[in-house]
Amino acid sequence: MKVKYIITFILMLVSIIILSGCEQTDETSDTSVEEGISILDIPDPEKSGNVKEFDIVAKESEWDFGGNTVANVWTYNGTVPGEEIRVQEGDLVRVHLKNELSEPVTIHFHGVTLPNKMDGVAGVTQDGVQPGDIFTYEFSADNPGTYWYHSHQNSAEQVDKGLYGAFIVEPNNKVYDSEYTLILDEWNMGRNSSGGMMGGMMGGSSGERDTDMLYGTYTVNGKIGQYIEPIEVYEGEVIRLRFVNAGYRKHLLRFNGEPYRVVEIDGNPIYNTNYGSGPLEITPSERIDIEIKIDNTAEWQIESVVNTEAAEDMVINVLPKKADDDQKETVEIGEEESENGSVYMDPIFEEIPTPDIEYDMFLGAGMGMGMGNSTFTINDEVFPDTESIEVEEDDIIKATLINESQFDHPMHLHGHYFQIIAINGEKLDNPIVKDMINVEPGEFIEIMFQADNPGAWAFHCHDLNHSAGGMMTLVEYQGYYSPFDIHERENQPE
């Protein structure tokens, strides 16, 4: 009997050893996911230039939109929009974010190509900044242009509450006399509502029925109607207007017949543009710079022509100023000319190459007009279960964005610019280079970009309600991993 017990004991020991080995193998398997280079260890580009530092405090404030329309909002430095961050081309930027709110926040510098660890996406490139904590963002401002910054932690709610501001990189050589930054947004405050579902379906575009029903107040720089700060101009000067759409719906602006020309989109200059006077459409998260030469000495208005009652709030007065002896001389603006006389941008690809990776992104939506339990999908999945776009450095990626839903989807790619090569099967003669593109219901748009900025990058709808509903994926570089966990309570990247 003793021999039997001894044999049984030995067998139990062997079983324990085998099971222990299996557990060890499983642990090894888990850590193998994190083989490679952490995004925190990606070498920084060489840093130089003048250092510009900013202290940005996220906090709750009471904000007067004008006309005693007051609401509790969330702010960067106490204002809506938040304090403008303005630097010079080539500056080294340091932004110290302090969180005085009751939940975690971040800052994402929208449209800026920077190191992955500075991208500000909670659970992907950093943990959300906890209440009372400070996080410092540092990067070089290499590309002049109009950008903006906003939270990328529970962003559908936090941006809606006011956590955004302008980020301007001034060019070293200006070709305009004065400039204004104009941030467009919409709010759900019970004013000028579109009248429920029927009102929403009658106003705006067919792809924006959900936002028609949600947002009844339009603002410019956090103010409504007559409380919007006017633009003051001298006759003969050239002004640059930097438009940023921080909201979740398209805005269509009319310039009272005054001629203007588009000179920059999403931080990319456009050359050889002629003056026109038609309405200007600005889609969610888009930035458009225009120039106007002031030849009119009378007062006039820039106004929204969207077919909703809320559009009545969006009126910007342009007021003439009398010249005095101290007025500076105005710059002389010549028309840029290209060889073929066509409008063009600097391309990413001079000739369209054969892609290394092709990715079809089907954009869908679940049932329901409202935002309560709606889902918004990429290839029938919701984030974080969407399939990532896995790339290697220097890969050329062609993505086809196919909108199968009844909603507009302004798709934004972090950390990269892409070139639009075809819309609904029609190849473009001249390149369009952007970091976001609005895909309307039934459209399919082909874009191409190069994997030249290692890390893990968000690619999502910038109607942030749609992103919160699942319309987000990642571009992930092989050989790199993120040490952050999107499943942690403090990390809500959408």
Three-state SS string over 224-288 comes to: CHHHCCCEEEECCCEEEEEEEECCCCCEEEECCCCCEEEEEECCEEEECCCCECCCEEECCCCEE
Asked whether the CA dihedral 379, 380, 383, 385 is positive or negative, the reply is: negative
Instruction: Quickly tell me which residue has 């936002």 as its tokens.
Output: 211
CA-to-CA distance for 91 and 271, rounded, in angstroms? 25
Helix (H) or strand (E) holding 14: helix 2-32
- For the CA atoms of 390, 248, 85, 253, what is the dihedral angle to 10 degrees? 120
Query: Residue 201: phi, psi to the nearest 5?
Result: -75, -20
CB 127 within 8 A of CB 490: yes
d(CA 323, CA 346): 38
CA distance 55 to 61: 17
**Residue 251, token pair as written in the block:** 């805005």
Could you tell me if 438 and 401 are in contact, meaning their C-beta atoms sit under 8 angstroms apart?
A: no
Integer Cα distance of 426 and 438 in angstroms: 16
In which residue are the tokens 């290692």 written?
Answer: 454
pLDDT of residue 189: 81
Is 163 in contact with 75 (CB distance < 8 Å)?
yes
With CA atoms as reference, report the closest residue to 408 among 381, 445, 449: 445
Picking from 54, 163, 156, the residue whose alpha carbon sits closest to that of residue 107 is: 163
Q: How far apart are CA 346 and CA 4, in angstroms?
A: 83
Question: Is the link from the previous residue into 353 a cis peptide, with omega within 30 of 0?
Answer: no
Q: For residue 22, report the phi and psi dihedrals to the nearest 5 degrees.
A: -65, -45
Q: Which residues of 442-464 are buried (b: 16+ CB within 10 A; e: fewer)?
A: ebbbbbbbbbebbbbbbbbbbbb
- Please choose, from the candidates 473, 435, 477, the residue with its C-alpha nearest in 3D space to the C-alpha of residue 455: 477
Using alpha carbons, select from 293, 176, 300, 299 the residue that is nearest to residue 235: 293
Largest interatomic CA distance in the chain: 115
The alpha carbons of the chain give a radius of gyration, in whole angstroms, of: 25
Run of H or E including 84: strand 82-88
| pLDDT score at 32 | 35
Residue 483 and residue 473: Cα distance in Å, rounded? 17
Rounded CA separation 112/133 (Å): 24
Amino acid at 341: G
List average pLDDT for each run of 10 residues in the chain, which is 494 residues long. 43 40 36 74 90 98 94 97 98 98 97 98 97 98 97 96 98 94 90 34 54 83 97 96 96 95 96 92 98 92 92 95 63 45 85 97 77 83 96 98 97 98 96 97 98 98 95 98 82 68
Of 136, 178, 110, 162, which is closest to residue 410 (Cα–Cα)? 110
Q: Which stretches of 283-395 are assigned E, i.e. beta strand?
A: 287-293, 300-304, 315-321, 344-345, 357-365, 376-378, 389-391
Residue 134 in contact with residue 126, Cβ under 8 Å? no
For residue 370, how many C-alpha atoms fall within 13 Å in the half-sphere facing its CB?
Answer: 4
Q: Alpha carbon of 46 to those of 21, 43, 168, 222: distances in Å?
A: 46, 9, 22, 37
Tokens for 313, please give them: 């709030």
pLDDT for 197: 28
Strand partners, 74: 60
Under DSSP, the state recorded for 299 is -
- Note the Cα 319 to chain centre separation in Å: 31
What is the structure's pLDDT at 76? Answer: 98
**Termini Cα distance of the chain:** 66
Residues 468, 159: Cα–Cα separation, whole Å: 12
Q: How far apart are CA 35 and CA 42, in angstroms?
A: 14
